[in-house]
Structure 1
């Protein structure tokens, strides 16, 4: 397996309720039982989508497709924005995200709300750039600036 450089956490947000605005955070606790603390999905039993991640590079691509200078992370309703690592290359792997260990479970596809939130063409702009879903394997705190690393790349990992 080819090595990967680690990435960094740039933004963290939770969705307190359906259609409520995202709340940006400096840190968030993760647990296998509850998911991401404060997120509306935290008490759900669907554990394959406890955390959603998107790359800052994906946000730039989406903005470009829409003819915008930028797209705010909260508009896409993903929990964590990272930079410097190809999230799709992590599919099926375990990653260390700050103090937590997650398992990448799949791609995070756009929903029909993307047209409403991003305007005409929003859904197609997000296709292939929507990020990933993950479940929490081991609890831990995630903070802005924390490293994101595939566990197979760590010594002894």
Structure 2
């Protein structure tokens, strides 16, 4: 079943607390729980794709391909100034965000897709746990952790606050990769909510 993230956001918006920006103190208080994320194998909590800019679809399952990343996602239509030819960056086919970080920063799971990542997993993403080049089994697919950092931007700050941007881009948040990781696809396959994501 595919679900529009706009529908999820509208439902979450009924609670005024859902959309408020978390304070620096609240985010710091969440670090202990985030640090307890599983190291070697975790569970996929949510899958989303971006069919067009600023649009999200929440999926029960998705196909990960060598040429499209998450099929139906707009990655292959997004140019990058850091790619060799200015086209879609081959090492940024999909991104994975720590589910505990998403909960701390964003709030209810219905709002997580607003971050713009495709996979939200209960897995430790720190540099020490998943150095660049590490292979991860994501459902039936295999992806490689890219060296290129995944960092918060102006849109992230607008959606979740300046404190959230500092939280993910500096200090321990950066070391833990709380904004997430970029990946390129090594082996295609199907991924479903509830599947394992495991270090190989």
Preserved CA contact (<8 Å) 1:62 1:126 = no
Q: Report what 1:155 is aligned to.
A: none
Greater share of residues in strand = 1
1:57 offset after TM fit, Å? Answer: 1.8
Structure 1 stretches lacking a partner, 5+ long: 64-68, 152-157
Give the secondary-structure state (helix, strand or coil) at the position aligned to 2:75: coil
Identify the match of residue 59 of structure 2 among 25, 33, 46.
25
CA–CA distance in 2 between the matches of 1:57 and 1:48?
A: 24
TM-score by length of 2: 0.65
1:86 offset after TM fit, Å? Answer: 0.8
Q: Report what 2:125 is aligned to.
A: 87
Residues 15-49 of structure 1: CA deviation (Å, up to 9, x unaligned): 111122x1100011011122110111035642100
Q: How does 1:1-157 map to 2 (within 5 A)?
A: 4-20=39-55, 22-42=56-76, 45-63=88-106, 70=108, 72-83=111-122, 85-88=123-126, 89-92=129-132, 93-106=134-147, 107-127=149-169, 128=174, 129-151=178-200
Q: Which runs of 4+ in 1 moved over 6 A?
A: none
TM-score by length of 1: 0.81
Q: Report what 1:66 is aligned to.
A: none
Structure 2 stretches lacking a partner, 5+ long: 1-38, 78-86
Preserved CA contact (<8 Å) 1:36 1:42 = no
Greater share of residues in helix = 2
Radius of gyration: which is bigger? 2
CA–CA distance in 2 between the matches of 1:91 and 1:142?
A: 23
Indicate the RMSD between aligned Cα atoms, in angstroms. 2.1
Preserved CA contact (<8 Å) 1:75 1:118 = no
Preserved CA contact (<8 Å) 1:31 1:138 = yes
